[in-house]
Amino acid sequence: MFDGKMKAITLSYDDGVTQDKRLIEILNKYGLKCTFNLNSGLLGTANSLFIDGVTVAHCKPRAEEVRAIYAGHEIAGHTLTHPLLPKLDRDEIIRQVEDDRLRLSEIAGYEVVGFAYPGGGGPNYDRRVSSIIKEHTGVKYCRTVESTGNFDLQDNLFEFRPTVFHYEFDKMLEAGRSFIELQTDTPKLFYIWGHAYEFDIHNRWAQFEEFCKMIGGHSDIFYGTNSEVLL
């Protein structure tokens, strides 16, 4: 159970971008909790991405800003520089993951134990990678980008699959309605993931706020960070 409740909701957002500030304002307004997965080696950098015909900012906060921005939520790792881990050797995987974790722990002021595999658009991890992270780093859970579409708990925390990708908005909305109505005698978890800059592509900030308003404030649901619901 989750603090005595059978249902829990958590969110996970990647890359540590400046749009996270706006996202956090919405989450805080409706009592939702999120884990933000940061690349410590890229903090303070400015860039842009071209997605679906739209150019969006992809800028990272400075290290000294991080603790204040993410206060009340969880900071987790996403590697130092966002490489595709299956292409790396053992020592470089460990360096990318563990050095990032240690740097973020110092920045956050608490031990960082979570991790999200970087590099979407295809397989971004394999059993070799997850085993190396489990055996040679201080990470305690790893999130993948493979959505399950369900709310079932999972045994393998180092290849943890979320429920839904927020960019598939209709699927997320349908899942949210189903989760609110769900009556269960066994623990169930609704796990959403994405990138905050994606809200800028089709200007879905208002839609997402409506979703948060719908999903927040239910007495039978526990709202927690990834660590709070998984560990």
pLDDT in tens, 155-192: 999 999 999 999 999 999 999 999 999 999 999 999 99
Widest CA span in the chain: 47
Question: What is the distance between the alpha carbons of residues 38 and 16, in angstroms, rounded to a whole number?
Answer: 5
Residue 84 counted as domain residue:
yes
In a domain, 1, yes or no: no
> Which domain does 128 fall in, by range?
7-230
The answer to whether position 71 is within a domain reads yes
> Domain for residue 123, yes or no?
yes
Q: Is residue 15 part of a domain?
A: yes
63 vs 77: CA distance, rounded Å? 14
Spatial CA neighbour of 115 closest among 77, 153, 145: 77
Q: Is residue 2 part of a domain?
A: no
Tell me the C-alpha distance between 82 and 100, whole Å.
10
pLDDT at 123 over 90: no
Q: Is the pLDDT of residue 111 over 80?
A: yes
What gap in Å lies between CA 123 and CA 68, rounded to an integer? 33
User: What total number of domains does the chain contain?
Assistant: 1
| Residue 130 counted as domain residue | yes
Q: Is 78 inside a domain boundary?
A: yes
Residue 111: CB partners within 8 Å, gap ≥ 6?
Answer: 105, 138
Q: Say whether pLDDT at 134 is over 70.
A: yes
Q: What is the pTM of this model?
A: 0.97
Q: How confident is the model at residue 205 (pLDDT cuts 50, 70, 90)?
A: very high
Please say whether the beta carbons of 166 and 192 come within 8 A.
Answer: yes
User: What CATH number should be reported for the domain holding residue 129?
Assistant: 3.20.20.370
Which of 29-38, 121-130, 155-164, 202-211 is predicted with the least confidence, judged by mean pLDDT? 121-130
